[in-house]
A and B are shown apart, each in its own frame.
Chain A
Amino acid sequence: MLSYIVSRLLQSLVLLLLVSIIGFAVLNLAPGGPLSQYALTPGMTQETMDRIAHQMGLDRPLPIQYLDWIWRLLQGDWGKSYRDQLPVLQIISSHLFATLLLMGTSMVISIAVGTWIGVRGATKRYSIFDYTATVGAMVALSIPTFWFGLVAIYVFALRLKWLPAGNMYTVGDGSFMDYATHLILPSLVLALVDIAVWSRYMRTATLDVINQDFVRTARAKGLSERAVLMTHVLRNALIPMITLAGLQLPTILGGALVTETVFTWPGMGRLFLDSLGYHDYPVVMGLLMFSAILVLVGSLIADILVAFVDPRVRLG
């Protein structure tokens, strides 16, 4: 097991290096640059832009810029944002809480509800519940989040005035209840799609297990239907879900771009989009590396967990 983990980590380092090179090249080779946003400012001249580019070191050859960046990174310096000069790690961590809160809540909701719907749909296959869940999932998957978010705001914030129209908290309040009321709409909007995904996966996984011999054996032993479901079916059906959850880890931290925009939620998705828009390369590269690390760690954790849960799987 240990040697497996070590070799996986070494592979990951090579992968990270490749990601950084490709990411850096693609970002910098795309036309435009961090200064192009100032081009239409009154009185701005090419001369001024060239001078500032030189001061920022943007006129150096790309390989030199890359080596400079990676060398600093290896020493633990993630660089500073071109926009507000703050350290990249500080910027990422300042957006992390918002994203974790939103995505975490929505993931808990979607896994709980999705699992329940999936298992129930599989055990009562072709029932009205199953059909409703199937159609519902298709609808939920087809609705654009942006539109659904705006509709939810229109109904619950503008018409009924039950919930706030956006933001993570009321400035100056920030109590638990304040956060909670602000969290309801975005986390439900976000969870809607995930519930659909989880319920479909869960239904399939349960169906795979439910007709197998050991389930019949369990029933034959005289176990109650509930015990069969909980200890035999669910446990086995959840194994593929662990891999799925592991692969979802990076998307949690990547944030939900659309939901964050509609609900003005100050998370990582917004940060990524804004940083791209402003060609804030240090932050974009930081986010890229951060999420690459999460993908690798997430899949590693998932593999290890599966090995623990499923005795048939041997790592190494």
Chain B
Amino acid sequence: MSDNKNDVLTHPTRRQVMGQTLGLMALRASGVVFSGVPGFSQALAAGEKSIKGQLIISFSQEPTVFNPHMPHIEVDDGIHFSLFDPLFYVDPEGKFVAALAAEVPTVENGGISADGLTWKVKLREGVKWHDGAPFTAEDVKATFELLVNPDFRSWRKTGHDLIRDLKVVSPTEITWRMEKAFAPYPSILASTFITPKHLMSASADPNNAPFNNAPVGTGPFKWVERVAGDHITLEANADYFAEGPYVERLIYKYIPDLNVMYTQFKAGDIDVLGLQWITPDHYEEAKDLPGMTVSVVPAATVESFSFNMDRPQFKDPAVREALYAAIDKAAIIDALYYGLPAPTETYMPQQSFYYNPDLPKQAYDIDKAKELLDTAGWAPGPDGIRAKDGVKLAFTCSTTAGNHIREQVQQYIQQSFKDLGVEMSISNLPPAVMWGEYWMMSKFDTVIVGLNFLTGSDPDTSDYFRSTSIPAKGGAGQNTWQYANPEVDALLAKGGEVFVPEERKAAYAKVQEIMRKDLPFLPLFQYATVQGNKQGIEGINPNVNTRINTWNVGMWRRA
């Protein structure tokens, strides 16, 4: 707990999509994905599937939010994926695969108009809610309406608030118009679970509906019970429309301490480890555990050394560049992170279609760093600390208190900076303080933070990089660096409206290039997690596009 939910060290916390490519191509033309197809054939095979045994899955945080539209954390997603379905989801390759939709809407199949404004979604027939009621287009409509209901504590309105003229054409068809073209919307839909109208509307106050603690979905598993503080039990939905489920019972066990979780994994009490898996320091031992499968799985979150660009010290690009050159990334990764994460030069996950591999590689070079500062006129003062025009190159660095590895990283960097004539003092804060106003309203000098920058499962980063997204200046977003660059603004605006992946790619490659040059944050590495399960459990398939490994739990089975 102390290493808590916010501090995402080596935990993939963010849902995003890499390998976005195919998904968006589907939108436009390629029509790669008629994923109705696998689901359909599997539905036919449903008669033969054998459902047996149970699986115990561990989480280090307790799932407590079962209405997928209310504010929640990663582990809650794990339960949502077991109980509910979206219209279509994102697979590990970044392709959209139809779930409740009969087919993924694309420009080619007429689901989306060429300008991206008119949508028509055909729904799967014969799907039933866990309580036996039929699933229809009315449920989809009610879900979209609930998400923008002003009285509802909606988790995310982005995209949904652009929907106009939402119409139920037939029980299996729904249409709407978008107020403006919004390319990230398919990715948002892929993480929007459909909830039953008949239960949601049964309660006057959707924030306190009985449904919220007794969820009913269409997913591979049905709700059985929650023993608060201990576990959640789900049972197989034998009538599931797609592949699976293959196990009778799922038990999501809450184990609040990662050392204890690892011990119980060793003892054989846990079948599949869930968030936040095995800590990096246990990797060496874990990979040789008899009877267990343990592997390193990349995650989308990127660790960065972030600047508050409003501080006078950091307005000079030479300072940011010099500090970047003074960080020994390789040593940090190898010595402190057991060599698990991958060094990176960008915020974009390396598995993404939009990843720009041509960015200059950072090299640890303290002499170059000194030269940069000398040239820029930052001369050492009598105390050895560089200054220019009365501004001293001294600042604080903050991160989540109690994250020991990060604290070591800070000390390491502090030492390098000291050699450079830069004074960095460490000022760490407990998570709730750190990631509250202190972070959001840019009250820091520098911060070490792990972020997933993508919107939904899309490469759009407007909320982070656009100059109008600075909360400290009244903007809506999370541009806490207070970074402003008109060129980036224009590129993001363009990328958000274009539906052709190749064109979008050019825009986002350029954004990455500019970010690498401007360095509002120094990209350190992309996270990796150490995941594990008992041998003999099949179907586990890590998906870097989701923030939880139980995204396909319906397909898990005992051999």
A residues with a Cβ closer than 8 A to B are 30-33, 35-49, 52, 55-56, 80-81, 83-86, 91, 94-95, 98, 150, 153-154, 157-158, 164-168, 171-172, 261-264, 266-267, 270-271, 273-274, 277, 279
Give B521-539 as 1s and 0s: 1 = Cβ < 8 Å from A's Cβ atoms.
0000000000000000000
Least distance between A188 CB and chain B CB atoms (Å): 17
Least distance between A160 CB and chain B CB atoms (Å): 11
**Chain A: CB-nearest residue to B209:** A85
Complex CA gap A33/B463 in Å reads 22
- For residue B436, which residues in chain A have a CB less than 8 angstroms away from its CB? 31-33, 36, 39
Least distance between A69 CB and chain B CB atoms (Å): 17
- For residue A46, which residues in chain B have a CB less than 8 angstroms away from its CB? 440-441, 471, 476-478
Contact across chains for A262 and B257 when beta carbons are under 8 A apart: yes
Contact across chains for A83 and B64 when beta carbons are under 8 A apart: yes
Contact across chains for A55 and B269 when beta carbons are under 8 A apart: no
Contact across chains for B208 and A80 when beta carbons are under 8 A apart: yes
- For residue B455, which residues in chain A have a CB less than 8 angstroms away from its CB? 42-43
A sample of 12 cross-chain residue pairs with beta-carbon separation below 8 angstroms, ordered by A number, consists of A31-B438, A32-B434, A36-B432, A44-B478, A45-B476, A52-B153, A91-B228, A98-B229, A165-B267, A167-B230, A266-B228, A277-B5
- For residue B440, which residues in chain A have a CB less than 8 angstroms away from its CB? 39, 46, 49
Residue B56 lies at the interface, judged by CB distance under 8 Å to chain A: yes
Contact across chains for B153 and A55 when beta carbons are under 8 A apart: yes
Residue B31 lies at the interface, judged by CB distance under 8 Å to chain A: no
Residue among A86, A158, A171, A264 with most chain B CB within 10 A: A264
Residue B15 lies at the interface, judged by CB distance under 8 Å to chain A: yes
- For residue A271, which residues in chain B have a CB less than 8 angstroms away from its CB? 228-229
Residue B415 lies at the interface, judged by CB distance under 8 Å to chain A: no
Q: With contacts A41-B73, A266-B229 known, what are 10 further pairs, Cβ within 8 A? A: A31-B433, A35-B71, A40-B451, A84-B64, A84-B212, A164-B267, A168-B230, A274-B229, A274-B256, A277-B432
**Chain A: CB-nearest residue to B232:** A171
List B426-440 residues whose CB lies under 8 Å from chain A.
430-440
> Which one of A80, A91, A171, A273 contacts B233 once the chains associate, using CB atoms below 8 Å?
A171
Contact across chains for A48 and B157 when beta carbons are under 8 A apart: yes
- For residue B4, which residues in chain A have a CB less than 8 angstroms away from its CB? 277
Contact across chains for A166 and B269 when beta carbons are under 8 A apart: yes
Residue B207 lies at the interface, judged by CB distance under 8 Å to chain A: yes
**Chain A: CB-nearest residue to B475:** A46
List B248-301 residues whose CB lies under 8 Å from chain A.
249, 251, 253-257, 259-260, 263-264, 266-267, 269
Contact across chains for A31 and B432 when beta carbons are under 8 A apart: yes
- For residue A84, which residues in chain B have a CB less than 8 angstroms away from its CB? 64-66, 212-213, 228
Complex CA gap A23/B64 in Å reads 25
Residue B403 lies at the interface, judged by CB distance under 8 Å to chain A: no
Stretch binding the partner chain, chosen from B6-14, B41-49, B548-556? B6-14
> Which one of A44, A81, A98, A166 contacts B264 once the chains associate, using CB atoms below 8 Å?
A166
Known: A32-B431, A36-B431, A274-B1. A45 touches B228 (CB 8 A): no
Complex CA gap A45/B479 in Å reads 9
**Chain B: CB-nearest residue to A38:** B71
Closest 7 CB pairs of A and B: A32-B432, A266-B229, A266-B230, A47-B476, A165-B267, A46-B471, A84-B64
Residue among A32, A91, A274 with most chain B CB within 10 A: A32
Complex CA gap A80/B452 in Å reads 32
Complex CA gap A38/B440 in Å reads 11
Known: A91-B228, A166-B269, A266-B227. A31 touches B64 (CB 8 A): no
Number of interface residues of B (CB under 8 A): 73
Known: A36-B431, A46-B476. A261 touches B257 (CB 8 A): yes
Contact across chains for A42 and B260 when beta carbons are under 8 A apart: no
Complex CA gap A180/B151 in Å reads 48
- For residue A171, which residues in chain B have a CB less than 8 angstroms away from its CB? 56, 231, 233, 251, 253
**Chain A: CB-nearest residue to B152:** A55
Complex CA gap A114/B231 in Å reads 35
Known: A168-B230, A261-B256, A266-B229. A158 touches B263 (CB 8 A): yes
Residue B156 lies at the interface, judged by CB distance under 8 Å to chain A: yes
- For residue A267, which residues in chain B have a CB less than 8 angstroms away from its CB? 229
Complex CA gap A206/B259 in Å reads 42
Contact across chains for A153 and B263 when beta carbons are under 8 A apart: yes
Contact across chains for B263 and A165 when beta carbons are under 8 A apart: yes
Contact across chains for B16 and A42 when beta carbons are under 8 A apart: yes
- For residue B231, which residues in chain A have a CB less than 8 angstroms away from its CB? 171
Known: A48-B156, A165-B267, A264-B255. A40 touches B6 (CB 8 A): yes
Residue B54 lies at the interface, judged by CB distance under 8 Å to chain A: yes
- For residue B303, which residues in chain A have a CB less than 8 angstroms away from its CB? none
Known: A45-B476, A46-B471, A262-B260. A165 touches B269 (CB 8 A): yes
Complex CA gap A270/B73 in Å reads 18
- For residue B8, which residues in chain A have a CB less than 8 angstroms away from its CB? 40
- For residue A41, which residues in chain B have a CB less than 8 angstroms away from its CB? 13-14, 73
Contact across chains for B228 and A158 when beta carbons are under 8 A apart: no
Complex CA gap A36/B254 in Å reads 22
> Which one of B54, B213, B449, B456 contacts A42 once the chains associate, using CB atoms below 8 Å?
B456
**Chain B: CB-nearest residue to A264:** B255
Least distance between B237 CB and chain A CB atoms (Å): 19
**Chain A: CB-nearest residue to B1:** A277
- For residue B56, which residues in chain A have a CB less than 8 angstroms away from its CB? 171
- For residue B207, which residues in chain A have a CB less than 8 angstroms away from its CB? 55, 85
Complex CA gap A274/B432 in Å reads 13
Residue among A80, A164, A261, A277 with most chain B CB within 10 A: A277
Residue B158 lies at the interface, judged by CB distance under 8 Å to chain A: yes
Least distance between A261 CB and chain B CB atoms (Å): 5
Residue B137 lies at the interface, judged by CB distance under 8 Å to chain A: no
- For residue B158, which residues in chain A have a CB less than 8 angstroms away from its CB? 43
> Which one of B66, B267, B456 contacts A157 once the chains associate, using CB atoms below 8 Å?
B267
Complex CA gap A271/B453 in Å reads 32
- For residue A48, which residues in chain B have a CB less than 8 angstroms away from its CB? 156-157
Complex CA gap A228/B449 in Å reads 69
